[in-house]
Amino acid sequence: MTTKLVVGLDGHASGERALDFAVTQARLIGECDLVVAYVIEWSPFSFHSAEENAQRHKRREEEISTVMTRVIDPAVKKLQALGLTVTGKVRHGDVADTLNAIAKEQKAAQIIVARSSEGGFSSRIFGSSTFNLVKGADVPVTVVQ
Amino acid sequence: MTKTMIAALAAAMLTAVPAAAQEGSTLDARVNEIFADVTGPFVSFIFAPLYGTDFPWIVMWLVIAATVFTLYFGFVQFRYFGHSIRLVKGDFSDPDDAGEVSHFQALATALSGTVGLGNIAGVAVAVGIGGPGATFWMILAGLLGMASKFTECTLGVKYRNEYEDGTVSGGPMYYLSKGFRELGVPGGGFLAVLFSIFCILGALGGGNMFQANQAHAQISGIVGDYPGWITGLVFASVVFLVIVGGIKSIARVTEKIVPFMGILYVGAALIILIVEYDKIGWAFGQIFAGAFSGLGVAGGLVGALIQGFKRAAFSNEAGVGSAAIAHSAVRTKEPITEGFVSLLEPLIDTVVICTMTALVITISGQLIMDPQTGRFVLDEAGAAIATIDGNTGVALTSAAFAEGISWFPYVLAVAVVLFAFSTMISWSYYGLKAWTYLFGEGKTKELVFKLIFCAFVVVGAAANLGPVIDFSDAAIFAMAVVNIFGLYFLMKVVRAELRSYGRRLRSGEIAAYTD
């Protein structure tokens, strides 16, 4: 049976470290597919002006397209060049919840993320996405330094 | 470059202020006089009494419509109340649609356009003229208005325009034209144009001048009297920066602060009511007694009823059609779900927040009552209840809150300014949508409307409350005349949607994504 690993990317060097670690793991496992995922932070309970709402669908499409072009497609190509089977996903939502949802939906054995580069006030109060993922995930999580 | 020019223009406008301040009061008086003369005939027509009575036909028009929709949809506001809450929570939202406008966001946006001065100043006007009894009619109007809101917002989503670039435009002008065409009923295009004209006037009136006027009243109440046009100019500059300059950060900050201000306002009212809990029973007694006897207010029972219904409609805008513009941005496969969500708006706005304001004013003792007779004492003009310091509008609410929390007027001043600003931004969008419906999309056309909108901010701040509030009411209610007329034709479309949705919900075909 093929093992699936979900790799969370963030468009930064830390995401690249997670990706490299996932490649090593996939090779060790042998029969292993990778799912590279990028979650655009979004909450259905945030506040917007009427004009922003009217343009929201357009903006969403643009956000997905930008992430696909800049983060997901290069990662997929890089892994495919290494002979791995890989799919890319871009979703909106809470980073920890959405990565966990993707892992459950894909029946993944593990989620691999890099230590978050987030900081500031909100992460001190509410915890970083990485911390929240480790705390609430339904599958094992590996956090790469 | 553009932003630098805008900032320079705004700075120039502000530096001109002190030099011209001396002529302030004269200019205010002139603006007020011209404004009252120009708008007088329109206001008189909208508030004309029913033949042989003192009852304005427009108030009857709104009440009858809300009652008809309530009966026609079988008390939808109560039957689907729980379902509406679940929709707002996102229980029925497809996870694949994450990133689109959620039901909560559409509701919050629409609320930020309605919760504001109507709840603070409008209620004070209602209770000041119609007595505490006006609150009873306000609550009733709020409960019935939920059905009007449900009808218009369902249609707003169903008949909106979705453009190739992914943006949307919706509202009464679209459902009147497209809906009538679909039903084969003539005149939809004409109604859409008429609605758009009134919507532009409503945006300039209630959505702009009334806000500027009351924001100025609140600020001058704290820092001392000064010419209104100065406040107008400052407000106009900030609105200009947002809607013309595209400085979204100001709007974004406001959109985030306003909900917290709303919570703070309700929280303060709750604290006062908890501290004065022994007077709540008495206050409700006044509300019920006043609703049916008038308790000596101007116009008696009918005066209380008219004020209650008028201010409720002005506050929650049910039947006016503005919310249909705000709610139409939600991407949903079922337009009726947005109708369910929108019916919570009059509940939050009128039944909860307006009632709290009315209770605080009643309990505060600001309204002067004759202890011998238990009836209210009228002011010198005999048009409103006399208040301790002669306060009306937002100043009355402020004084009432100060009875419980002495420093609250300062918080209220900030809240009023922010509410006024956020309502202006919302209405600038509603007005713009009506404008582009009439004149077509295009940067120059949009700029013309935006500049007119900014100019009216100054007029609104400079004019007296009387003419401004009359014109604001008249313009908003004129929208309701056209909108409700159209809703009568289109309500069968909504009933078909309601029956289909209800059937699929019961059969389990429509199911929640979360338990």
CB contact under 8 A, A50 and B100: no
Distance between CA atoms of B204 and B194, rounded to whole angstroms? 16
- Measured between beta carbons, which residues in chain B are less than 8 angstroms from residue A42? 98-99
CB atoms within 10 A of CB B163: 12
Distance CA B89, CA B83 (A): 10
Residue of B nearest to A49 (CA): B109
Q: What pLDDT, on the 0 to 100 scale, is given for residue B296?
A: 58
Q: What are phi and psi of B55, to 5 degrees?
A: -85, 120
Is some CB atom of chain B closer than 8 A to the CB atom of A17? Answer: no
Select the residue from A40, A41, A42, A52 to test the B interface by mutation, using most B Cβ atoms within 10 A: A52
Question: What are the residue boundaries of the structural domains of chain B, listed by start?
Answer: 33-46+54-504
Closest approach of chain A CAs to the CA of B331, in angstroms?
8
**CA distance, residue B234 to nearest chain A CA (Å):** 21
Cβ <8 Å between A49 and B256:
no
CATH of the domain spanning B33-46+54-504: 1.20.1740.10
A19, HSE (Cβ side, Cα atoms, 13 Å)? 25
Please name the amino acid found at residue B257.
I
Query: C-alpha angle B417/B458/B265, rounded to 5°?
Result: 15
Question: Rounded to a whole number, what is the distance in Å from the CA of A38 to chain B's nearest CA?
Answer: 13
Give chain B's radius of gyration (CA, Å). 22
Is 90 exceeded by the pLDDT of residue B120?
Answer: no
In angstroms, the separation between the Cα of residue B103 and the nearest Cα of chain A is 8
Q: What is the pLDDT of residue B295?
A: 63
For residue B104, the chain A residues in CB contact (below 8 A) are: 44-45
The per-residue pLDDT for B146 is 96
Residue B353, classified by CB atoms within 10 Å of its CB into exposed (0-12), middle (13-18) or buried (19+), is: buried
CB atoms closer than 10 angstroms to residue A46:
13
Please give the Cα distance from A38 to A48 (Å, whole number). 23
**pLDDT value at B19 more than 50:** no
B340's torsion region: left (phi>0), alpha (psi -120 to 50) or beta? alpha
* Cα torsion through B324, B318, B477, B302, rounded to 10: 180
- Beta-bridged to residue A142, according to DSSP, are A112
pLDDT grade for A116, boundaries at 50, 70 and 90: low
B121-170, pLDDT tens digit by residue? 888 988 888 888 899 999 999 999 999 999 999 999 999 998 888 888 89
- CB contacts under 8 A, A 65-124 vs B, are 91-93, 98, 101
Instruction: Measure the CA–CA gap between B51 and B48, rounded to whole angstroms.
Output: 9
B440: burial class by Cβ within 10 Å (0-12, 13-18, 19+)? exposed
Of B76, B77, B85, B100, the closest CA to residue B157 belongs to B100
User: In this model, does residue B101 exceed pLDDT 50?
Assistant: yes
Handedness of CA B75, B80, B82, B86 (dihedral sign): negative
Chain A interface includes B412 (CB < 8 A)? no
Q: How far apart are the first and last CA of chain A?
A: 29
Whether residue B449 is predicted with pLDDT greater than 70 in this model: the reply is yes
Fold of A3-89+111-144: Rossmann fold (3.40.50)
Which stretch of DSSP H or E encloses residue A87? strand A85-93
Cβ–Cβ below 8 Å for A45 and B430:
no
Collapse the DSSP code of B328 into the 3-class scheme (helix H, G, I; strand E, B; otherwise coil) and give the result: coil
Which of B85, B107, B109 to probe by mutation at the A interface, max A CB count within 10 Å? B109
Instruction: Report residue B53 as tokens.
Output: 């009575």
Q: What is the mean pLDDT of residues B314-330?
A: 89
Strand B161-162 and strand B168-169: pairing?
A: antiparallel
| Residues 6+ positions from B11 with CB-CB distance below 8 Å | none
Q: Which of A106-110, A128-132, B285-289 has the highest mean pLDDT?
A: A106-110
Q: Does residue B20 register a pLDDT over 60?
A: no
C-alpha A22/C-alpha A79 separation (Å) is 10
Place B8 in a pLDDT band, splitting at 50, 70 and 90: very low
- Comparison of pLDDT for B412 and A63, the residue scoring more: A63
Tell me the residues of chain A between 44 and 63 that have a Cβ less than 8 Å away from chain B.
44-58, 60-61, 63
Q: What percent of chain B has pLDDT over 70?
A: 92
Contact check, Cβ <8 Å, B105/A64: no
Q: Inform me whether the pLDDT recorded for B254 exceeds 80.
A: no
Q: How confident is the model at residue B259, as a pLDDT? A: 81
When scoring B85, B111, B167, B252 by the number of chain A Cβ atoms within 10 A, the one with the most, hence best to mutate, is B167
Quick one: tokens of B170? 């919706």
